[in-house]
């Protein structure tokens, strides 16, 4: 193949790395993603996997993330396992997972030990109380951001499901398994009917 | 004979089940964690739970690490490791199996329908998380005001959330909250 001209090379995205990452590379990459991921690991995962290492195209990454987001459980944990296993089978999944969770977990265990000793110190109490208030605000803003597409689409029935889940879990404090057992089939039925209606 | 199961066993079985029920990720599972850890088992006080959430948000790494802190409060390092592994492994195995199936058979229409259906569930759960953390954390009207201001700033700007959390810490340290 002739070497492309500089302008063509700049217009097309750089080719993917043809060499699949090894176990140590997977562990190291996910450890780095995880430890730089303050307030959301996803952005760092996309940057490292798509731009830095070129292990996946942007489309492949989005598809993989969509799958992991749709499955239950911690999304980014799912992503590490699916990603690692795609290149190196089960061992690759384990390596990526261990890199993602191991180092920050060690850090959090150290923080937990410190908290157990110093949790009653007044200055720490006050500071953590302030962080909790701000963290609650972050959750609320995430809710509004996620809700806007439903509001714009005027998906009234799905919004009602959302409110019902909020009331059942947030106000009535009902157990999650029962709420999901009832709400999930209703929501699936609504989505299915809408899909058929628009198709 | 002791009829009460060991806390470590209760911890691991609880989080292994929750792993598969955590529609919308770890933050959506916070209300159920709170119900189990504070209301049902009395593993933590309301304040300890709010602090655990705060520490997990301040730390780098996935949000799921709040589970590590709950586990540590129940059974030390063994509890921290057990709870974290229990919360991650069932869903990780499921993700592995499903991703292999999908790459082999091609996507059907069901994933799209289920994906749409799960969105309102995860938003409702996240909203409940916000309420529960706010109720645990906001003990006076200044605290409520801080929560509201952070919510508005985070929704309206692209500020890194870490700065907002640190601003909360500074205001708390200064004794304003």
Contact between residue B90 and residue A74 where contact means Cβ atoms under 8 Å apart: no
Interior angle at CA B143, CA B139 and CA B148, nearest 5:
130
Dist CA B30 CA B134 (whole Å): 12
Is the confidence at residue B5, as pLDDT, over 70? no
Q: Do A141 and B68 touch (CB under 8 A)?
A: no
pLDDT-derived band of residue A158, with 50, 70 and 90 as boundaries? very high
Residue of B80, B97, B120, B142 to mutate when probing chain A, most A C-beta within 10 A:
B120
Residue B21 near residue A180 (C-beta atoms within 8 A): yes
Partner residue opposite A187 with nearest CB, options B22, B117, B148: B117
Q: What is the mean pLDDT of residues A78-91?
A: 94
Q: CB under 8 Å to A93, separation ≥6 — which residues?
A: A80, A81, A82, A83, A84, A85, B92, B96
Residue A120 in this model has a pLDDT that exceeds 90: no
Spatial contact of A26 and A84, defined as CB atoms under 8 Å apart:
yes
Specify the pLDDT at position A138: 92
* Residue B14 contacts A, CB cutoff 8 Å: no
Interface check for A141 against chain B (CB to CB < 8 A): the answer is yes
Q: Residue B1 — pLDDT band, cuts 50, 70, 90?
A: very low
Kindly state the greatest CA–CA separation across chain A.
Answer: 69
pTM of this prediction exceeds 0.80: yes
pLDDT in tens, B114-149: 888 999 999 999 999 999 999 988 778 999 999 999
């Amino acid at each position: 193949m002739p070497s492309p001209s500089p302008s063509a090379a700049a217009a097309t995205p750089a080719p993917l790395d043809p060499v699949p990452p090894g176990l140590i590379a997977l562990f190291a990459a996910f450890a780095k993603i995880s430890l730089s991921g303050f307030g959301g690991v996803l952005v760092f995962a996309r940057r490292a996997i798509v731009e830095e290492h070129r292990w996946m195209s942007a489309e492949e990454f989005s598809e993989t993330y969509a799958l992991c987001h749709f499955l239950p459980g911690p999304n980014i944990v799912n992503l590490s396992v699916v990603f690692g296993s795609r290149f190196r089978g089960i061992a690759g999944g384990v390596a990526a997972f261990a890199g993602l969770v191991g180092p920050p977990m060690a850090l959090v265990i150290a923080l937990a030990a410190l908290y157990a000793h110093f949790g009653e110190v007044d200055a720490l109490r006050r500071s953590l109380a302030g962080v909790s208030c701000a963290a609650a605000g972050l959750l609320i803003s995430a809710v509004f951001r996620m809700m806007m597409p439903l509001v714009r689409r005027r998906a009234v029935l799905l919004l009602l499901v959302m409110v019902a889940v909020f009331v059942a879990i947030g106000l009535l404090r009902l157990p999650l398994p029962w709420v999901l057992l009832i709400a999930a089939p209703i929501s699936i039925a609504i989505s299915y009917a809408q899909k058929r209606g628009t198709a | 004979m002791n009829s009460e199961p060991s806390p470590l066993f209760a911890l691991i079985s609880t989080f292994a089940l929750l792993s598969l029920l955590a529609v919308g990720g770890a933050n959506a599972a916070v209300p159920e964690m709170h119900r189990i850890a504070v209301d049902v088992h009395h593993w933590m006080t309301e304040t300890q739970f709010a602090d655990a959430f705060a520490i997990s948000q301040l730390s780098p790494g996935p949000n799921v690490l709040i589970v590590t802190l709950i586990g540590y409060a129940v059974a030390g390092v063994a509890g921290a490791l057990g709870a974290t592994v229990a919360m991650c492994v069932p869903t990780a195995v499921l993700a592995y199996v499903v991703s292999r199936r999908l790459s082999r058979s091609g996507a059907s229409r069901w994933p799209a329908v289920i994906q749409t259906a799960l969105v309102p569930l995860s938003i409702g759960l996240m909203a409940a998380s916000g309420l529960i953390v706010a109720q645990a954390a906001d003990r006076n009207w200044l605290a409520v005001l801080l929560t509201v201001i952070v919510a508005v700033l985070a929704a309206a700007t692209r500020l890194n959330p870490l700065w907002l959390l640190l601003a909360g810490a500074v205001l708390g340290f200064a004794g304003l909250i």
